[in-house]
Every structure is written in C-alpha cells, then in structure tokens.
Amino acid sequence: MKYFPVFADLDTASVVIVGGGEQAAQKVRLLRKTRARITVIAETVTDELRDLAQQGAIAIAMRAFAARDLDGQRLVYAASGDRAMDAAVSQAAQSQGIPVNVVDAPELSTFITPAIVDRAPVTIAIGTEGAAPVLAREIKTRLESWLPANLGLLAARAQALRSLVAISIPDGRARRRLWERLLQGPFRQAVLRGAEAQADHIFAAEIEGSREPATGRVSLIGCGPGDPDLLTLKAVQRLQEADVLVVDRLVNTKILDYARRDAERILVGKTPGRASISQAEISRILVREASAGKVVARLKGGDPLIFGRAAEEMAALQAARIPVEVIPGVTAALACAARVGLPVTLREHVRQFSVVTGATAHGEPELDWAALTAKDTAFAIYMGVGNAPAIRRNLLAAGMKPETLVVIVENGTQASERSAATNLQDLTDCVVQLGIAGPAVIFVGLDWQGAGLQRPQNVIVHRRRVQPGRPQEQAPVCAEGFL
C-alpha cells in the first residue's frame, strides 16, 4: 500500500486550486460537496467558475500563482495544465508541508483523490494508487447500484442517537451488538422507507432488550484450503461480528483481514511434531471467551466437520450452554480436485468417493484397506504425506493394482500450490523426490482419461525410472504419454 487512505476534515478549511480550466472546475465540483472555503487562482477561468464566484460559492484571484497564496491552506490542487507551473505549485506546497495533488501527475503529488460514492454522511473512497482509474470507476458504479440512495438518512439517524445509546448502554460489546441489530435489521428498513414512528418503537424495544446481560456465542467457521475468495458470505459476516478470533495454523492470514481490526486474536495452531495447544485447552478457551459475553469466531482450515475436530468443541460448548453454530467451508478435497479438474465421482466408473485420514495421534491410520480397494471406489487422503510408505504398502497388500493413478495436490488454492500425478507403486518415491511436505491431499483411483478430460499441463507427472544395471537409482520423469 503506497497511499494510506484518510478522510480530511475540510469543514470551513481553506483549499486553493491553481488553474481555471475544465480540470480545475472538476475539482471545484467535488470540493463543493464539503464546506471548504475554495479559492481559484488563474489568469483566465471558465464561465462555470465565474458564475460560482458571482454566487459567492468560491473566490477567484485573477492573476498568476505566487507561493504566498498557499499560506494557511489545508489542501492544494494544481490543475493549470502547464506542467512547469504545476511543478512549481507542488514544490511550494511541499516546502510548507501542505498536501498537494497535481492532476495527472502522481509523481508530483503527495495525495490522490479517489473515486467517491457519496451517501453523506456515508462516504466510500475507492483508489487504485493511480494504476487503473477505469477499475475504480467500475467499482464505484457497482457500489452506486447496490447502496440505497437514501442510506445517508440511516447514518444521520444513527448519529443523532449515538449519545443516547452511549448513556443507555455503557458496556462496549453490548453497545456494538445493538448497533449491529439497529443498522442491519427492522430499524434500518423502517428508517429507509420513512416510517419514523415505527423506527422509534423498534429503537425503544432494542434499548430495553440491550440492558440484559450479554450472552456470548461461538461460530465454527470453515475457512477453506487457503484462497480467501472461497469464503462463504456467512463466514465473512461472522468474522465481522466477532470480538475474538481463535485461529488454526492452516488458516490463511489474509482471511483475518475480513475481521474487525479491534478483534482479539488467539492463535491455537497445531504443528506436527512440535509442542502445541491441546484440543482440550482450545475448547476451554472457547468456553471462557464466550462465557464472558463475547462473540467468538473459531477459524478452521477447510470445513470444520471434516477432520476439523468440530464435534469436540461443539460438545464442550453445548455442555456449557453456549450457543454454537457451524459455518461450512470448502473442504480441501473438493477444492484441490477442482484446482486440477479431477471429478471425484463419475457415472459408471466411480460410484463411491471417500475422505479418509492418513495420520492419527498414534501414528499409522487403521483403515478398512479392503473397502478402499473395492471396485468403482475412489478416495482422498488427508494428512497422508508423512505416512505415504505405509499407505502404499497397505493398499498394495489389500490388492490394489500398482498402476492405479495417484494425484497429489500440495498447498491447494494457494500461491505455492503444486500438483503431481503418479501411480500407487511410485507414490513414496514421488513424495520423496518432489519434496512434498504438505499440507497436501492425495487422491487415489481418480483419473482424467475416464472422464474424457485432458490432464492439466501444470500437473507434474512422476514415474520412478530404473536404469539398466542400476536398480536402486530413481528419478522423476515427465512424459506426455504417461497418463
């Protein structure tokens, strides 16, 4: 971020615009939405600017710019169209520490003017750091069509009630929840349609209800395999409501940007082979925070109900009589399969698809290996990279063919994503030779050819190569005809 977004207080402040043409007029139109005292300095001006001066809306100095014109100014715009003049204005402003914007010259500017959606007192600023004004305009257009034209009425009503709410509801968390209900529920709708009496009645009832002790709650949120764009709308809503975030290790840190900046963050991630917070302690944290009346968001990678230990946390919360809900997420198996275009079911070929774990607290998983090798069956293995040799050995012993296709997707949906295709016989070698460390999903029994699809070019093909006379030497090889 090169430009830090701020809102400048221009109420009765002095602003100078150097230039009298169309570019200067555009800045005047924008600034007139404020109560700034606007002065235009130019030897010639447009009829529009001259008319505004005659109306007393702006002041005009019909002369050349001088550095003393900047004394006492809050902001400066250089819009003369003369690059030398604009550069001189910029230099003079910066020497006095006054923010300056030079039209179409970000290199001479210390601030830029964003695209604006005006629903005063609600104002939305959209900037692209000057890189793509057309993109900013597109976003502005979408927001204009989405936001009610009279949204400002709701904000103004909230502003008028703020002091009363602060006096009536001294607890900060209870007050925030009241505002959430007011501005997102029936009170909002009543204000926007002009039903003042109904809005007053709803407000009085909400104030009375907010005097009751705050009740905490917990949302177990599935954050998907990593890509923030895969978050559900409800997940984003719960993130924005939360007072406390209890975060797993595999949750992409970019997802935390969707939460309130003042939300407390408690990191409870488990790292294999290292000391970490126990599941029992995590459950105690959830109960403790919610019992204090806080709204808690428990962030988990993938989906909470698929190897996310949601059941243990739900049981602890229910035992403590704390409301808990599960917000589903895109589980890693489906997300990773989608990334490599690999159907997980296929009519007449794959009638059953399972998701199994490749690791347990005690080491190797105890799975029904025979069932996994049944006809028309495919499956995805979570947390299986470390136990790849045992998985390979058990599947071969249960009768699975050595040439069965295996696809591995590591860090699915993230920038560091890698995908590899091999066969069951070469599974261990593939993991070792390609240095796959996880998190990864291993797919067994699925293929593109059976679905009439082409293998994506970004999928590495690995086959153990045994050279004559050197049976122990192994190396990865990519070959178009392998699959």
Distance separating alpha carbons of residues 483 and 199, to the nearest angstrom: 66
E-strand spans in 35-158? 37-41, 59-61, 75-78, 100-102, 115-119, 122-126
Residue 228 DSSP symbol = G
CA distances from 42 to 19, 30, 88, 93 (A): 5, 18, 14, 17
Neighbours of 478 (CB within 10 A): 12
Q: Residue 245 corresponds to which tokens in the numbers above?
A: 């975030």
Cβ 207 vs Cβ 178: under 8 Å: yes
Indicate the angle between helix axes 310-319 and 279-291, nearest 10 degrees. Answer: 40
What is the full DSSP assignment across 461-476?
E-----BTTBTT----
Beta pairing class for 75-78 and 100-102: parallel
The position carrying tokens 């400048």 is 8
Which is the catalytic residue, given 82, 140, 171, 270? 270
Catalytic member of 69, 86, 227, 248: 248
Residues listed for the chain:
483
The H-or-E segment that residue 314 falls in is helix 310-319
180 backbone dihedrals φ, ψ, rounded to 5°: -60, -45
> If DSSP states are collapsed to H, E and C, what string results for 376-432?
CEEEEEECCCCCHHHHHHHHHHCCCCCCCEEEEEECCCCCCCEEEEEEHHHHHHHHH
For 25, counting Cβ atoms within 10 Å of its Cβ (0-12 exposed, 13-18 middle, 19+ buried), the class is buried
Q: From CA 253, how far away is CA 247, in angstroms rounded?
A: 9
**What whole-number distance in Å separates Cα of residue 23 and Cα of residue 45?**
11
Cβ(121)–Cβ(104) below 8 Å: no
> Does the annotation mark 270 as catalytic?
yes
User: What whole-number distance in Å separates Cα of residue 418 and Cα of residue 92?
Assistant: 53
- Rounded CA separation 441/353 (Å): 14
For residue 452, count other CB atoms closer than 10 A to its CB. 7
Question: Which tokens is 189 given?
Answer: 């709708």
Kindly list the strands in the beta sheet with 37-41, ordered across the sheet, starting from the edge strand earlier in the chain. Answer: 59-61, 37-41, 14-18, 75-78, 100-102
Chain centre distance of CA 204 = 36
Q: Which residues are catalytically annotated?
A: 248, 270
